[in-house]
Structure 1
Amino acid sequence: MPAILDAPSARAGREGGGSDFTPLARRVRESGLLERRPGYYGRAIGLNLAATAALWAAVAFAGGSWWVVLLAVPLAVVSTRTAFLGHDAGHRQIAGSARANRLLGLALGNLLLGMGHGWWSDKHNRHHANPNHVGKDPDVGEGVLAWTREQAVRQRGPLRWVARHQAALFFPLLTLEGFNLKIGSALFLRERGRRERLVEGGLLVLHAVGYLGLVFALLSPGKAVVLVLLHQALFGVHLGSVFAPNHKGMAMPEPGARWGHLRRQVLTSRNVRGGAVTDWLMGGLNYQIEHHLFPSVPRCNLRRVQPLVREHCARLGLPFAEAGLVESYRLALGHMREVGEPLRG
């Protein structure tokens, strides 16, 4: 299984502008902020598991009333916390060994969420290596949504209509993202080795059987279907809303561009301002610049890394993009609207 990037490659230091990263990397390393935080993650995982169990107990308690479907809201929030923890395991932020982080990723992703750790690792690894680079970053590849005008004008049929109105459709489409993650995880395994299909596929099946079995055992069929649909839809919206403002509307390297690690990560990323609530809701990914520069830094250390990065960028005259939460969505949706403009003429 591909490993998530723990640090910039040695080659990055030799590319144009890449050497600018070395002094910053040294400061962060000497500050101790690269060190693992097992206590923090132990508490986070424990609390998340306890909250998950408590919510399912609440589903059992309230199962006789249709009000039970409102529990889809906190269930979606807790599922997103699980996804954040799986993300951190994929970046080897939690444990000291690759094996332990992989096991955590399988437990948190495949077993608890039905989202394949191997599929996510492969996709996310390519995103981190070349963020916002068309043809290299799968997050800006051609699909239902268009990220460049060239992609938009190539859309055909219903997808052309979607591209024309994609800014307005973005959040409604996120209601399908929870299901898309599960489907993508299953399809990814078709081309993997037998052992990976057995392990990852077996855990995905175990999740599906356990999740659906639990819901239908606790609720009548009608309530069960509504709860599942709401849970997965809200999970997709919450998770997609966290990833949406981080890169959309930021620089997109031209084909053949060779940027050093510092510029490649800083110029394509946007931070989201906020306090402890924003940090919690976004799982630390509001510090997108710091996370991309130092993927293995534990989530709880990113706030302390930020002043070092900001100061370093200011010294080099490098733009440091940051916006409030609402403004970040306005910028991301504005980019999507601009991309679809040729189709509305």
Structure 2
Amino acid sequence: MNLYTWKDVESHDKRDDKWIVIDGEVYDITQWSKKHPGGSKVISHYAGQNATQAFNAFHSDISIPSKYLKAIHKGSLKEEEKQISNIDQDFQNLRETVHKLGMFKPSYWFYGLNMFHVIALDVVAYFILRYFGIGWMPFIISLAISVVVQIQSAYLAHDFGHTSVFGTKYKIDSFLERICLGFMKGGSAKWWNHMHFQHHAKPNVLNKDPDTRLEALFVVGDVMPVKVAERKKDSMPYNWQHRYFLVIGPPFLFPVYFLYALNRHILTRREYLDFFFTICYWTRYWYLYGGLLGFTSALAFQLVMRVFESSWFTWVSQSNHIPMSIEEDDAKPWLRLQLNATCNVEKSAFNDWFTGHLDFQIEHHLFPTMPRHNLYKIQPLVKSLCAKYDLNYEVKPLLKSFKDIVRSLKKSGQIWLKAYTRFHGSNACNNNSS
């Protein structure tokens, strides 16, 4: 058996030469990454690093992917290199504890009722227009209910995408994810997983988390603004981003960027099954609402619905991450990585529903396959471990978490402005800002 040092492994972090370590064993993922069910990038982000905790976090049953590791096994770390850090060992102990407590077992009543309430509201939204006419009041009520349907479908799809419901029966989760994202929303499960799994693997890590690839419009954190200022002389006036974010950020993420990106992914990757479910959504929508409202009103209904859905989703999803640290990859242990990039929102019945239980974003990021209705139960254990390692476990009121998005954008914009002035001079900055 070949024996390696960490220095050996770390040298294999290239696009065409990628090794990872799982439980002290070394694997060559150069070719396997292209066939990886979770996408090539999510596994490649750990090239040259220890992927043990990420591997455990992403798979409901590690015996299934473990079968594929034999073919790409290169050897082992030398015995003296296998020592696990205290923080990783303690986190592994926490994982075993929550497994023993049954926290990875879903409540089918919970998910069944959630699915029922989404389908029921979808039916109600349509029949309000059908039986009460297309006046302003029925139109607005139906529109509001449809926004709820779209968001709650997304939350359910999020659970199914993480195999949080059926676990080892991942094909059922995959099918239901396509129902919720494709048939109910006109989205692409493959595109969402491709983006979202990268986010979970390396949250708030520059050049790895897709949610930080914003420099066309925004700079975030403390590091990115300086790098963009140094590299780009002609760029957006980022010192105003906290203001124009309100206009072009939340309202247009879904109806513009997501619509373009997911359809591009479907077509370029030839995702025929996603294409089928997307066509089903649009056929259903235009048959029901087009025939009822007419083309112009049905189009307006769809666009306004997407703007409100987009705003809801953006404020919720970014409140947990944008105000946190955003840095380059330095191979942090799993616990430090997730706590560095994530915060929680205070629990309440409304917040649970409004955020799809992402008010417990820290616990969700640590254990992404855990059913969301169990996340609050493990909070005391997570807090205790964070306290042991002096990690900031941050919990905010919902409205404060929204305000912090704007505050962090303003701060990052000011960092960019100072750096831009330093690199290019005040005149260049004035011309750019104007």
TM-score with structure 2 length normalisation?
Answer: 0.73
Moved more, 235-244 or 167-176: 167-176
Q: Gaps (5+ residues) in structure 1?
A: none
Q: Which has the higher strand share?
A: 2
Higher mean C-alpha displacement, 169-178 vs 116-125: 169-178
Task: Please list, as runs of the form range in 1=range in 2, the aligned pairs for 1:142-161 lying within 5 A after superposition.
Answer: 142=214, 143-147=216-220, 148-150=224-226, 153=229, 160-161=236-237
CA distance in 1, matches of 2:90, 2:150: 39
Q: CA deviation at 1:311?
A: 1.7
Aligned to 1:2: 38
The residue correspondences of 1:164-183 to structure 2 (distance < 5 A) are 164-173=239-248, 174-179=250-255, 180-183=257-260
Contact 1:116/1:182 (<8 A) preserved: no
Letter of the 2:351 counterpart: T
Specify which of 81, 98, 114 is matched with residue 44 of structure 1: 114
Counterpart amino acid of 2:152? R
Unaligned regions of 5+ residues in structure 2, if any?
1-36, 44-51, 59-82, 419-428, 430-434
* Bigger Cα displacement from structure 2, 262-271 vs 140-149: 140-149
1:103-154 Cα deviation digits (max 9, x unpaired): 0111110111011100000100000000000011001113432223136535
Aligned with residue 109 of structure 1, among 169, 177, 181 = 181
Q: Does the Cα contact within 8 Å between 2:200 and 2:365 map onto a contact in 1?
A: yes
State the distance in 2 between where 1:205 and 1:45 align.
21
Deviation, structure 1 residue 319: 1.4
Q: Give matches, 1:148-297, under 5 Å.
A: 148-150=224-226, 153=229, 160-161=236-237, 163-173=238-248, 174-179=250-255, 180-192=257-269, 194=270, 197-255=271-329, 257-297=330-370
Bigger CA drift: 172-181 or 40-49?
172-181
The alignment status of 1:92 with 2:168, answered yes or no, reads no
What is the DSSP-based 3-state SS (H/G/I as helix, E as strand, rest coil) of the residue aligned with 1:160?
A: coil
CA distance in 2 between partners of 1:221 and 1:294 (Å):
45
The AA in structure 2 aligned to 1:279 is: D
| CA distance in 2: counterparts of 1:212 and 1:235, whole angstroms | 19
Quick one: distance in 1 between partners of 2:385 and 2:165? 27
Shift of 1:155: 6.2
CA apart distance, 1:94: 1.4
Contact 1:284 1:299 in 2 (8 A): yes
Which residue of 212, 231, 250 corresponds with 1:140? Answer: 212
Label 1:112 to 1:307 Cα distance change in 2 as closer, same or farther (>3 A). Answer: same
How far has the Cα of 1:268 moved from its partner?
1.1
Q: Spell out structure 1 runs of 4+ moving beyond 4 A.
A: 3-7, 10-16, 154-157
The residue type equivalent to 2:122 in the other structure is: T
Contact 1:216 1:224 in 2 (8 A): yes
Q: 1:125 aligns with which of 157, 176, 197?
A: 197
1:21 CA drift (Å): 1.0
Q: What letter is aligned with 1:66?
A: W
Cα offsets for 1:227-253 (capped at 9, x unmatched): 222111101011111101111121223
Kept in 2: contact 1:77–1:238 (CA 8 A): no
- Name the CA distance, whole Å, in 1 between partners of 2:233 and 2:190: 31
Partner of 2:147: 76
Determine if contact 1:66/1:223 at 8 Å carries over to the other structure. Answer: no
Measured in 2, the distance between the counterparts of 1:42 and 1:240 equals: 26
Higher RCO, Cα 8 Å, sep 6+: 1
CA contact (8 A) 2:121 2:145 kept: no
Q: Does the CA-based 8 Å contact 1:15-1:259 persist in structure 2?
A: no
Aligned-residue sequence identity (percent) comes to 24
Partner of 1:267: helix, strand, or coil? helix
Partners of 1:249 and 1:64 lie apart in 2 by 42
Count matched residues. 339
Shift, 1:156, TM fit: 7.3
Q: Please, what TM-score do these two structures have when normalized by structure 1?
A: 0.90
Distance in 1 (CA, whole Å) between partners of 2:180 and 2:348 is: 26
RMSD: 2.5
Residue 26 of structure 2: aligned partner: none
